[in-house]
Structure 1
């Protein structure tokens, strides 16, 4: 909803209620019982999760259900949102999301956690990664060796992209299929010196159709290197979800600048 011109149309066409201005919506949102709305949201996602579980094979049956994890920023006007200041010139909030992929045709939001914009992606992951029966798919913003060690020790599986500068000490090279885009499949230990990981991970490097290099670390040892590449390629589904939020729900312009309303 972009403004007062949109709101009356929504009310008239969808609910039959009298029109309401954007300023009235903003004031009312600051008084909403958000704890009740949050409870309703998680009750619905829990129901969807249970309904999808019997037929849930994931994108790849040998890997199972995926949870795509990412965060997206929403800008706020600086002169009204000092509580959400990120830099001197920028204010904003973040939504940290885990997006379930239960089959190629079925996806849904499983968790959504709001924060101010200065909370890092990997800090947000502390509230999202806790299930042992899924594989988490994460981008480069979630690389934290201490957390990765903790995830492995807790029995969590992940497929994560790393940047070119991240050092991987190769312990064992595995054969790669001929004629594929797989460049490397190896057992590695990430980092160096006192910053090195304690746990070992698998490193898969591959190129896409445009020749771009991807470096993926994972705890999935049984899946093939092609499977790992395929899993990561489906991370774009959560990007489509964020695009839908901003374009169709108009979250590029929030109706409130107060924490309660947001």
Structure 2
């Protein structure tokens, strides 16, 4: 019998979570000490199932256990709303964060890239999730609003898609610059980020440590031109200079390269970088590639459960965000391992339909080539 027939489709999807490394980590942290029923593995299965099915709340998640197939997967026949609520507030978010990073590394390894390749170019950005101030007072953002901010470091998979590989979660009040040390740390990598991360002291530090960056300058930047570089004919770049940069009160100690170009809509971009060995067009194309993150943010907000939360505590909110990122990595892992041309959305739809069927059925559907009609529709949508 093929080993895939031993799993339900759901069991096959979540199987990469339960690696020896993760189970050893649970044991070392005594995460399930004295727990007989709702263990961390069971909690993960319940809340990943809720992510997949877009469940509205904890009572809906508790009702899912009425399914005999799910009971067999979990090893128990019922769970209460209050048990789910307690567990969601008890699980240490750091545990889920580590699991997310393990899965992200597994996805990137499946790309076949070396460690050096994987960190060549990375994108840093953040997205804000609005919350109700009355229910989430710990996340106060403005006088009448609350919110959290998800700060992400993303690696490229091919030319147009990105995968989150590291993240931090803060209240929306936190400035993006406060998370730079947590996300920017790999020597030899080139980081692409927007002007919300401009920090002249950090730029000098990165240059000394062999960390590269490409970013936009703020409108109020003080610029001292030092040398102009020739611009190739038919280039979209209109200026390429060696400069000193800073603000009215602070100035970077080192010299940097400033490039003036335009985005896809013709808007002016003033870029600054510490990479002098690349051509000006390579620098501008590199920065434009960061817009792949907007596609990811759009997908995340449309198809992952992160706009409404199952709990109001900071820990419950963070756990749900990590669970959403874990669910995303699991879908990408299936897509990479099967090398299917089908979208992540199609993989998740088929998984929902074939949830408790043998995994072989789900994999067969994934391996079926797209029809000419659907392939043509995809081409139209991409133009």
Q: Tell me if TM exceeds 0.5.
A: yes
Distance 2:279 2:93 in 1: 44
- Whose RCO is larger (CA < 8 A, sep 6+)? 2
Match of 1:133 among 188, 191, 195: 188
1:232 equivalent to 2:287? Answer yes
SS in 2 for 1:132: coil
Q: Quick check: which one's strand share is greater?
A: 1
Match of 1:45 among 104, 122, 130: 104
Distance 1:9 1:186 in 2: 63
SS in 1 for 2:126: strand
Following TM superposition, the consecutive aligned residue runs of length 4 or more in structure 1 with deviations greater than 4 angstroms are: 4-13, 17-27, 55-58
1:34 equivalent to 2:87? Answer no
| Superposed CA offset, 1:81-105 (max 9, x none) | 1111122211111111000115326
Task: Please tell me whether the aligned partners of residues 184 and 204 of structure 1 are also in contact (alpha carbons under 8 angstroms).
Answer: yes
Distance 1:210 1:106 in 2: 20
Higher alpha-carbon deviation: 39-48 or 91-100: 39-48
The aligned residue for residue 3 of structure 1 is 56
Larger radius of gyration: 2
Distance 1:123 1:55 in 2: 26
What is the number of residues matched between the two proteins? 257
Match of 1:78 among 133, 138, 145: 133
Structure 2: gaps (5+ residues): 1-53, 72-76, 318-383
Distance 2:171 2:224 in 1: 36
Task: Please tell me whether the aligned partners of residues 257 and 274 of structure 2 are also in contact (alpha carbons under 8 angstroms).
Answer: yes
Higher alpha-carbon deviation: 235-244 or 179-188: 235-244
Measured after TM superposition, the shift of residue 139 of structure 1 is: 0.5
SS in 2 for 1:234: helix
SS in 1 for 2:314: coil
| Superposed CA offset, 1:51-79 (max 9, x none) | 54339757xxxxx7211001111112101
Structure 1: gaps (5+ residues): 59-63
The aligned residue for residue 303 of structure 2 is 248
The aligned residue for residue 184 of structure 1 is 239
TM-score normalised by L of structure 2: 0.60
The aligned residue for residue 215 of structure 1 is 270
Measured after TM superposition, the shift of residue 106 of structure 1 is: 6.1
Distance 2:218 2:80 in 1: 47
SS in 2 for 1:3: coil
| Superposed CA offset, 1:195-238 (max 9, x none) | 11101111111023432101110111111111111111111112
Q: Quick check: which one's helix share is greater?
A: 2
